[in-house]
Amino acid sequence: MAENFSIEATDEGDLTTVALGGYLDAHTAPEFEATLQERIDAGRVRIVVDCGALEYISSAGLGVFMGFIEDLRDAGGDLKISGLIPKVREVFELLGFDALFEIYDDRAAAAGSFASAAAG
């Protein structure tokens, strides 16, 4: 089922972008978790998770976002989310994630919000 999920992490300056695609469910969430953990272990704390190609998310996927956000913020970083398709955004909103995470329309806007925070 590998074809049903894709993940790609890119470091650029002090920003790490993790692009997700396909289905993020209990079967694929561990791969997402491992990728994030690896970037964080490498000292990366400013992270954008670009969900532009993400077609499905269940609570196992949402749990990964939950598990890392506090430590990232404590370390002076953040995890911001971009590109949610309406169906996926609805799940984030149903559970109140939109109140606790910064969600942007696209990757550039999410990246820009880090830059302006640094400038401010």
Closest CA to 32 of 86, 40, 82: 40
The three-class DSSP label of residue 55 is strand
User: For residue 17, with 0-12 CB atoms within 10 Å meaning exposed, 13-18 middle and 19 or more buried, which class applies?
Assistant: buried
User: 78 - beta bridge partners?
Assistant: 46
Residues within the interface to other proteins (CB under 8 A): 1, 4, 23, 25-27, 33, 56, 58-60, 62-64, 66-67, 69-71, 87, 90-91, 94-97, 100
> Between 10 and 59, whose beta carbon lies closer to other proteins?
59
Write down the least CB distance from residue 102 to other proteins, Å. Answer: 14
Write down the least CB distance from residue 53 to other proteins, Å. Answer: 17
Write down the least CB distance from residue 69 to other proteins, Å. Answer: 6
